[in-house]
Amino acid sequence: MNAHRTCILIIGIVSLAGCAVTREPRNLSEAKQQVSEYANGRYEADLKAVSKEADAWIAKRSARGGKLAVVFDIDETTLSNLEIMRESDWGYDEARWHEWMDSAKAPAIPQLREVYQNTRSRGVAVFFITGRKERLRAATTRNLTRQGMGGFTGLICRPNENTEPAAVYKAHRRREISRQGYTIIANIGDQPSDLAGGFAERTFKLPNPFYRIP
């Protein structure tokens, strides 16, 4: 190989090295900024749109009668944890979250509280199925009641030692409700795992860009 061809080959190798494709994830500071902007802006409108659709369906379906039920999730569905999420810069500190939940201070998501109250006024049973552990039952009941969402038919908390994936755990609990003779006409949650696994005529997915529970 002559010197000219050797030079071209080396230049080509250097050029290829400079074009390496990386798999760098999205910059975290940019992602947090986008989430903050969404939480302060479009989030409310998206909650309203989904809740309006859910309420219209429940009104229409309940008019047909029967032993009917609606299932709600809790966190980022009926109660908001935006305060603690903002405080932690969209991070997660398990001890701090448990302290927050035990305080029973989470505010209602107004659009979903309206759906909840309308559902009860139509004579439809309401069940909560939450990933909150059984040890948080008393605080969760207190929080829901304070926020105008008392009088529910059932609050199903995850057993303290339960390790099932959320999708499996919640589907099993809906099946248990169905075995009591209820037809679950709507299942409302903010996570895909809240809604997976069937045992509901319709599902309604609320926005949640803050965290994901499999």
Summarize pLDDT for 66-112 with one digit per residue, the tens: 999 999 999 999 999 999 999 999 999 989 999 999 999 999 999 99
Name residue 13's amino acid. Answer: I
pLDDT reported for residue 8: 42
Smallest Cα–Cα separation from 189: which of 108, 72, 111?
72
Task: State percent of the chain over pLDDT 90.
Answer: 85
Q: For residue 17, is it within any domain? A: no
Give the Cα separation of 54 and 20 in Å (integer): 48
| Structural domain contains residue 103 | yes
In the predicted model, is pLDDT for residue 64 greater than 50? yes
Alpha carbon separation from 97 to 81, 91, 102 (Å, rounded)? 9, 10, 8
In a domain, 7, yes or no: no
- The verdict on residue 194 lying in a domain is yes
What is residue 181's three-state secondary structure?
A: coil
Task: List the helix and strand counts (H, then E) for the chain.
Answer: 9, 5
How many distinct structural domains can be found in the chain?
A: 1
- Which of these ranges, 3-7, 17-21, 31-35, 87-91, has the smallest mean pLDDT? 3-7
| 3-state class (DSSP) for residue 129 | strand
Instruction: Estimate to the nearest angstrom the gap between the alpha carbon of 7 and the chain centroid.
Output: 59
Domain boundaries, position 118: 30-205
Is residue 15's pLDDT more than 90? no
3-class secondary-structure state, position 142: helix
58 token code pair: 């429940």
Average pLDDT over residues 54-72: 98
Averaged confidence pLDDT in the chain: 92
Cα 210 from chain centroid? 9
Which CATH number is 193's domain given?
3.40.50.1000
Lowest mean pLDDT among 17-31, 83-97, 124-138, 200-214: 17-31
Is residue 126 included in any domain, yes or no? yes
Q: Is the pTM of the predicted complex or chain greater than 0.85?
A: yes
